[in-house]
Amino acid sequence: QGARKVRLDGDLRAVLLEAPGRCVPYAVIEGVVRSVKDTLSSQFVENCKGVVQRLTLQEHKMVWNRTTHLWNDYEKIIHQRTSTTPFDLVSAEDGAGVTVRVMKPLDAAELGLETVYEKFHPSVQSFTDVIGHYISGERPKGIQETEQMLKVGTTLTGVGELVLDNATIKLQPPKQGMPYYLSSLDFESLLQKQESSVRFWKILTVVFGFATCAVLFFLLRKQYRHHRERQHLRQMQEEFRQAQERLTGSEGGEVLKNACVVCLSSTKSCVFLECGHVCSCHECYQALPKPKKCPICRQGITRVVPLYNS
């Protein structure tokens, strides 16, 4: 967004002479592609000349997924060759006479290559091959042959370092690590495309941020609940220990055998029938949930007989 826009005209050399080090660190320039020496000819299309040529062979096949039990499309580049020849950017207006040499075009992002030829060669399979493919889990579909070129005469937008090297003006990758662009789009469209990409990543970051916060909140809440449960368990153990200490006689040091098995503080005062267990005080018997059952054998209590200790 902060790149300096320069025009490809007669004033470009003067602009670079006035710049520190005869260099504009990040500049935007638009021009028409023109080869310096020889051009590259298309292998499939007549009278198609360019300065960058990319030939690609891509394999298409179906692969059996043992997890989903479905056939999935699979693509793999089995061969790719890219050829380049030196080229310049010149002004679209005739008679300008100023050229900019484009350096390292393959290092540029958004390189605007046009597909000039594309053909799909389906694979021929026999019955035996079909059976073998089903057994192996791979079914070849064919080979796709593609030729892409950066044609001579294409309008190109370059964003990079613009430097005056002796008498040659060069457009090259920036030394500060900023991205280097060679695109068939104009600068405004290229800027909008990058802003859309940045907006997408910002939204994705926000979504993942919220998801991470939710997961952290869930984990912290779970840890807090576990801490509360452990604290409650320790408290119950401490209360049980204190109750046992209260039941310990000061003279003989023996635990009171007639203590209620529920509260461990009062003496046993009830006989449960029909099981006959003597295990609870009257207050704890009243607190038992209905239908009342013996705390020892879990048998239903039909009636209660008071126990008198002499």
pLDDT score for 94:
61
Do residues 265 and 255 touch, judged by C-beta distance below 8 A? no
Instruction: Write down the pTM of the prediction.
Output: 0.60
- Joined together, the tokens standing for residue 158 give 């370059």
Report the chain (310 residues): mean pLDDT per 10 consecutive residues.
Answer: 83 87 90 89 91 94 88 91 92 75 89 90 86 85 93 90 89 87 85 81 89 92 92 86 65 58 82 87 87 88 79
**Which contacts of 270-274 are long-range, i.e. CB under 8 A and separated by 24 or more positions?**
270/304, 270/305, 270/306, 270/307, 271/304, 271/305, 271/306, 271/307, 272/299, 272/301, 272/304, 273/301, 273/302, 273/303, 273/304, 273/305, 274/299, 274/302
β-pairing verdict for 168-172 and 99-102: parallel
In angstroms, the CA 275 to CA 277 distance is: 6
Taking Cα atoms as reference points, which of 117, 163, 125 lies closest to residue 6? 163
Q: Which helix (H) or strand (E) holds 203?
A: helix 187-247
pLDDT score for 249:
52
β-pairing verdict for 87-90 and 303-306: unpaired
- Joined together, the tokens standing for residue 48 give 């198609």
Taking Cα atoms as reference points, which of 176, 156, 157 lies closest to residue 23? 176
pLDDT score for 253:
40
CA angle 174, 194, 209 (to 5 degrees): 110
Token pair 């003597």: residue: 278
- Joined together, the tokens standing for residue 274 give 């029909």
Taking Cα atoms as reference points, which of 24, 31, 26 lies closest to residue 8? 31
As a CATH number, domain 258-306 is 3.30.40.10
In angstroms, the CA 161 to CA 170 distance is: 8
Amino acid sitting at position 149: M
Token pair 């393959």: residue: 106
306 burial type by CB count under 10 A (0-12 exposed, 13-18 middle, 19+ buried): exposed
pLDDT score for 96:
58
